[in-house]
């Protein structure tokens, strides 16, 4: 059961336990995580942002979600919806379902241009990871192209879902079937060829 600390400061919520994620999460009782939570509770928000950023960069989704909350509320940094959306989406890709709620909330108030800028930033990072051998990156690329951009990029979502499936991830099969219902057979064949070309260039 997800446990939440409700703070009196602008009703900010801090998630204090990790979620199931594809990246190895930082343990709930890790010194760094508890130090970050303690800093937040003491209203040392800049320290909390710094510590959660270190953990978030390592792929820990609860810390990424906490960063999105801090940036959204403007604690430890001026409010920054771009950074809030970035970290919320990364947390959701790591398995944080509550972060998806944050993503929807932020998308509801920002411009489409901002959403696409963040989407491009994440795509650039994930593509580099995928081509360096990160087997989780293809699925995350597919989800970003399909669900984060203001207009789904069916071609690239399909390509990366196919690559993820080729690596043995059967959880993307529903996405693949859904996209195939939206594209012509000629396009499907062309996209499959592109996926094969990319796949052959990736470390196995």
In DSSP notation, 156-182 reads: HHHHHHHHHHHTT-GGGHHHHHHHHTT
Helix (H, G, I), strand (E, B) or coil at 146: helix
- What CATH number belongs to 4-107? 1.25.40.10
Over the chain, what is the mean pLDDT?
Answer: 88
Question: In terms of Cα–Cα distance, which of 103, 105, 81 is closest to 90?
Answer: 103
pLDDT at 14: 64
Task: Specify the pTM.
Answer: 0.86
Residue 190: pLDDT above 70?
A: yes
Higher-confidence residue of 1 and 204: namely: 204
Residue 81: pLDDT above 70?
A: yes
Using CA atoms, how far apart are residues 61 and 66, in angstroms rounded to an integer? Answer: 8
φ and ψ at 14, to 5 degrees? -120, 120
Domain boundaries, the chain: 4-107, 112-201
**109-131 pLDDT per residue, tens:** 999 999 999 999 999 999 999 99
pLDDT at 2: 29
Place of tokens 């940036």: 71
């Amino acid at each position: 059961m997800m446990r939440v600390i409700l703070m009196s400061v602008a009703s900010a919520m801090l998630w204090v336990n990790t979620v199931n994620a594809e990246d190895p999460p930082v343990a709930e009782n890790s010194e760094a995580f508890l130090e970050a939570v303690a800093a937040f509770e003491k209203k040392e928000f800049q320290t909390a942002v710094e510590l959660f950023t270190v953990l978030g960069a390592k792929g820990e989704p609860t810390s990424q979600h906490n960063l999105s909350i801090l940036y959204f509320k403007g604690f430890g940094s001026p409010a920054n919806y771009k950074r809030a959306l970035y970290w919320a989406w990364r947390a959701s890709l790591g398995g944080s379902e509550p972060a998806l709620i944050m993503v929807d909330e932020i998308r509801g108030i920002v411009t489409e241009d901002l959403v696409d800028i963040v989407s491009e930033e994440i795509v650039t990072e994930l593509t580099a990871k995928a081509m360096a051998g990160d087997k989780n990156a293809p699925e995350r690329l597919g989800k970003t192209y399909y669900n984060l951009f203001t207009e789904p990029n069916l071609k690239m979502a399909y390509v990366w879902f196919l690559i993820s499936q080729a690596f043995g991830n059967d959880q993307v099969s529903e996405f693949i079937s859904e996209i195939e219902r939206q594209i012509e057979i000629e396009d499907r064949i062309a996209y499959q060829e592109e996926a094969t070309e990319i796949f052959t260039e990736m470390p196995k």
